[in-house]
């Protein structure tokens, strides 16, 4: 006597009648169990900072804002170093990604925890174009959330 898997729906039990349905139900059960074990066993490695999006909620064409998701908090020096590398990599001192004809005056970085928990905000770094002949972007301020 073969015992077929039984699918319960509330208080009513559903027993598949065809052999095809029985094998599919067994396969589905096995697949769900494997999926649960794979999620526990697999860990994805990410860089400590990852840009999750470029925001343009302000109407200023010469201001670029970034929201950056982090695995955890960093020190003020690490925020500054990361933003400086991001500025150089994306050539924001010479290029405006949204409006190529308008030079970037200010770049704002907002750092958040990837979990977006109650204390999701981690810090802000502000860069602004210097007044003068060089006109390079200069660091203005770094604000780090208290407690980190």
2 domain-assigned: no
pLDDT digits (tens, 9 = 90+) for 98-137: 888 988 999 999 888 877 665 678 899 999 999 877 789 9
Residues 127 and 80 in one domain: yes
- What spatial distance separates the first Cα and last Cα of the chain, rounded to whole Å? 64
Residues 63 and 36 in one domain: no
- Say whether pLDDT at 75 is over 70: yes
36 domain-assigned: yes
Residues 107 and 36 in one domain: no
Within 10 A of 123 (CB to CB), how many other CB atoms are there?
21
- CA distances 8 to 4, 12, 13, 15, 19, Å, are 13, 6, 4, 8, 18
1 domain-assigned: no
Residues 76 and 137 in one domain: yes
Residues 34 and 54 in one domain: no
Domain ranges, residue 21: 7-41
**Structurally, how many domains does the chain consist of?**
2
pLDDT digits (tens, 9 = 90+) for 24-59: 766 667 667 666 665 544 444 445 666 666 555 567
């Amino acid at each position: 006597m073969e015992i077929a898997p039984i699918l319960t729906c509330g208080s009513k039990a559903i027993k598949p009648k065809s052999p095809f349905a029985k094998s599919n139900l067994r396969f589905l059960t096995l697949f769900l169990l494997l999926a649960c074990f794979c999620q526990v066993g697999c860990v994805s490695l990410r860089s400590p900072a990852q840009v999750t999006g470029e925001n343009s909620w302000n109407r200023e064409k010469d201001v670029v804002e970034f929201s950056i998701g982090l695995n955890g908090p960093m020190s003020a020096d690490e925020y500054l170093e990361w933003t400086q590398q991001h500025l150089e990599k994306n050539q924001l001192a010479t290029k405006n990604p949204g409006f190529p004809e308008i030079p970037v005056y200010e770049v704002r970085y907002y750092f958040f925890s990837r979990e977006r928990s109650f204390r999701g905000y981690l810090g802000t770094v502000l860069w602004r174009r210097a007044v003068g002949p060089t006109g390079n972007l200069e660091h203005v301020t770094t604000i780090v959330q208290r407690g980190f």
